[in-house]
């Protein structure tokens, strides 16, 4: 498997400048799937787009979208190409999202202001986490709140009881990533995962990449 991926990477690398290859390697060295973002029924394109831009900058490799009632759309003026470098996984119901994430070793975390919520600065980071965010108006669904493994809250000290969702995502993931960077937990992609993602990135950069691979390998 790895030898085949390495062959394909070598083929496509001939069509990518060294400067760009070095930049891809730098980004991959900071990529993680230890944390992932899950958006439930976000209906405002600017919010969904801003969150994708934020998590890509912070080094996350994927995002999960639940579209029970609202279809997910992007605002290209806000996302600024970030969606090209993020794997987007979509679901039509909460249950399928829960099942897939748990099968991949994630602890389900609901953002809420409930009494059982753990404050962000005290939140445990000893396990992979899928962190769920809902709409600013209604928050997460009852199904998510009832079945999550843990609840997380962002400290707030004013009269207003909610941040803009893109701000919330930035605060939560910046805080958790910063703590992971300072600790000893192995949260970054392993070498096999980085190779797979590198091939994916190369294919997104090189025009007609699959045709080139097929020709060179034939």
Which amino acids are annotated as binding site for S-adenosyl-L-methionine, given as ranges? 111, 154
42: left (phi over 0), alpha (psi -120 to 50) or beta: beta
Residue ranges of the binding site:
111, 154
Indicate the helix (H) or strand (E) that contains 144.
Answer: helix 142-147
153: left (phi over 0), alpha (psi -120 to 50) or beta: beta
**Longest Cα–Cα distance in the chain:** 66
What is the Rg, in whole angstroms, of the alpha carbon atoms belonging to the chain?
Answer: 19
- Encoding tokens for residue 134? 């809902």
CA dist 106 and 155 (Å) reads 24
């Amino acid at each position: 498997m790895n030898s085949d991926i390495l062959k394909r990477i070598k083929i496509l690398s001939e069509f990518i400048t060294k400067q760009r290859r070095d930049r891809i390697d730098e980004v991959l060295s900071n990529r993680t799937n230890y944390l992932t973002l899950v958006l439930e029924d976000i209906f405002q394109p600017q919010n969904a787009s801003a969150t994708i831009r934020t998590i890509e900058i912070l080094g996350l490799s994927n995002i999960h979208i639940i579209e029970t009632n609202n279809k997910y759309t992007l605002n290209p003026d806000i996302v600024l190409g970030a969606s090209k470098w993020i794997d987007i996984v979509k679901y039509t119901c909460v249950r399928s999202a829960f099942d897939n994430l748990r099968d991949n070793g994630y602890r389900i975390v609901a953002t809420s202001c409930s009494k059982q919520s753990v404050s962000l600065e005290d939140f445990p980071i000893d396990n992979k986490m899928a962190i769920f965010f809902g709409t600013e108006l209604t928050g997460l669904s009852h199904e998510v709140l009832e079945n999550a493994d843990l609840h997380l809250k962002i400290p707030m000290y004013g009269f207003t009881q909610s941040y803009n969702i893109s701000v919330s995502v930035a605060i939560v993931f910046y805080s958790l990533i910063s703590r992971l960077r300072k600790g000893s937990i192995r949260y970054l992609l392993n070498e096999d995962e980085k190779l797979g993602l590198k091939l994916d990135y190369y294919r997104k950069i090189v025009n007609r990449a699959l045709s080139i691979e097929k020709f060179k390998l034939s």
